[in-house]
Structure 1
Amino acid sequence: MVELNLINLYIGIGIFAYIAILYLTYRDMRIFRRTGYFSYRKGAFKGIIASTLVLLGTFLIPSVSDILGLALIFVGLMINQKGKREQVFTNANAFDRFLGKTDIVRTPEEIKEDYLKQQEELEKKKKKR
């Protein structure tokens, strides 16, 4: 009986982690869409991978091993750690930050120009090696 309660608790932890990662991933996608900053795109990709691991871990808890499932959840959370990001919130309040509304909105032309500059910098770094 006690073990069943622990398994339910572990599943709850996994579901909470999954929902949190999906929220952060959605927020990163929204910020990338508005600003074009590629660090947010990278964060969204990491979030998709992390959410897959967390969901797999949540499914493994009752069927295979609770320790293995919790380990996968932990690895997923570690993959989803915050990386280096550009400053996109200047005057936004807490609710706007929560929703991912940014003070910076760039046009597609600005985003393309920034992308081309980044590609040129990467090419220069490759040539130096």
Structure 2
Amino acid sequence: MAGFDLITMYIVIGIFAYVAILYLTYRDLRIFRRTGYFSYRKGALKGIIASTFVLIGIFLIPTVNDILGLALIFVGLMINQKGTREEVFTNATAFERFIGKTDIVRTPEEIKADYLRQQEELEKEKKKKYKK
């Protein structure tokens, strides 16, 4: 391929990784907004951090060191690994899963009650930890 050097290929790999992470982050945000499950919020926050690493890696490839840039891209992809999530897709098609449409839609009152319950559980865990 004429005019397609190694640095360009590394940048293209980084851009694909960046776009994939942003897509997954957007999808997690959409699912969190519809369901209120905090595991999806945590996934979206991890995606923002991971996309920062990937973007820095993309900028380092042509300027400083291509291997260092690829390493940062790899670190960003490792940060964005899937964590434990609640089941939100029951009857969704592949396309609906792709865009993040969920079968579960909770009201703001349900989300708030779940949030308060989770906060109480965290407080109990903290008290147990400090008693030891």
TM-score, length basis structure 1: 0.97
Q: Which residue number in structure 1 is paired with residue 125 of structure 2?
A: 125
Partner of 2:112, secondary structure, is helix
Structure 1 segments of 4 or more deviating over 4 A?
none
Partner of 1:106, secondary structure, is coil
Partner of 1:34, secondary structure, is helix
2:42 equivalent to 1:42 = yes
5 Å-filtered alignment, 1:78-117, equals 78-117=78-117
Structure-2 separation of matches of 1:18 and 1:76:
9
Cα deviation, residue 11, structure 1: 0.3
Which string of whole-angstrom CA distances, capped at 9 and with x for unpartnered residues, describes residues 67-107 of structure 1?
A: 00000000000000000000000000000000000000000
2:75 equivalent to 1:75 = yes
Cα deviation, residue 46, structure 1: 0.4
- For the aligned residue pairs, the C-alpha RMSD in angstroms reads 1.0
Structure-2 separation of matches of 1:111 and 1:44:
17
Structure-1 separation of matches of 2:84 and 2:17:
22
Structure-1 separation of matches of 2:96 and 2:39:
20
* Structure 2 unpaired stretches of 5+: none
Q: Percent identical across equivalent pairs?
A: 82
Give the letter aligned to residue 71 of structure 1.
A
Partner of 1:120, secondary structure, is helix
Cα deviation, residue 38, structure 1: 0.2
Which string of whole-angstrom CA distances, capped at 9 and with x for unpartnered residues, describes residues 4-33 of structure 1?
A: 611011000000000000000000000000
Cα deviation, residue 59, structure 1: 0.7
The number of equivalent residue pairs is 127
Structure-2 separation of matches of 1:77 and 1:97:
21
